[in-house]
A and B are shown apart, each in its own frame.
Chain A
């Protein structure tokens, strides 16, 4: 456990200690900026509905995927390419412990940024309209979607240096394009996992969320199960690859 926590701690420092994280942090303020604008232009009674449009969709369509894809892709991929992965592999630790710690680190780092990005507008909503019921769902939902993205892109990042580009293509062409146009493809979308959890936890989810979710049904239980499966498959497959393939 001590080794696992040490790996998580060092990996988080590695991920969050970069200069461009400041840029990501600024981008993560976008939902809050949108929420502030809405408090100025919308009636107080409409602010809860407005929250699930501008700020929430900015968060789930853009900020969260971008952050999670970047951090997930780098967490193992960069170590492999820099040669530091051998430092971890040459220790008396199972590969699953190493990849599990890496997944945890990237998830916590991505969740910290995305969670705050969602929490701030929810708090602004709370103070502006005395509506606090968005706070917990937005934290849970961002936690789930970041886990899904990080799980998938940690594996892709381990295999190829083009993971971030692949992630951008997946986000902008598939998730916000094709999967939006064809409801039945919404299943293969990672931010929608979080949205279904959010919709399942918030009573009276607005119609716009239904459009964004496509054919998916609201519910936190299914979303949690999906994310856990993605995380387990990611850790299992990368550990297997580490055992079977050369570490060059």
Chain B
């Protein structure tokens, strides 16, 4: 409708116009980036680990005495046997680490022994012949480890594995043609390792951002960590018996051999708790960003209501004059709605620049962030236009109710 005269009028109220536009611009920049951060974090939080989280728990077992490799290996065999006897326990495996623990053991992966720049930096799991089954991994090609393949590794010993089961993500990275099974690679080893099995999903131990280029790339070698330090027992409970198994398992272990340490805080964790801890800061970030978005939108809306109310108050007389000259309720309502729309559009033009500027700055300073997809900016624009129109509606409605007789009131 009457865009040109509205613009003309706005030129006479530069300060207020610029302030609202600026506020919309800044809000757009922050909200778009915050929403995107929230989205990224939520995607991160919901990454699949590949394991049967509902029925798994992990015991961090440290030895109370310094054992030789042989002693440790025997203790481990005994512990596994003990754990299998615990009511509610379905399966047990030994490991040096477990998915989404928060920290990875990782090995550079090369295709030849001479290659310097690694093809991958895969998460490195030592597992036994029960590892795949216990964790509930989905073996999509090849076979599981055989018991005789599993070797014990002691203090700073390098047991060179000759076979490995790798995740599909790693298989695809190493062998993009889909023919990984039976092929070889090097994992900081002097001799090649043969791929004997491929599992669908096996998350890395770490959930950090440094490993983003290697996301989901994990390998398992048939090794038992018989080091003096200790190891992890990953235990799978029978369906519905997780709590009972978690209660009984440490008791059984201590009863068998009390020279061990299971940390009261971190030694016994269900996978639900592991997941909660792993993504604590992501969830925190998502919450912070959500709170800031909501408060920010509320304050921007309140600011628009405040300034528009002031404008309406200031222009009561000219609204009256317009009404006297034939403007209908709707004309006045439209006037203020259109005015807000124009200011918002101006703010959005600046805001889009700011949005991408802020995003670029964040991307260059924090590896954690990615470039903003256009849909977020479009969504943000729609959100702010709606917010502006919503905020201006009440004062505009009040303006439309200014009676025409206002024009004749003495100044």
A pairs with B: no
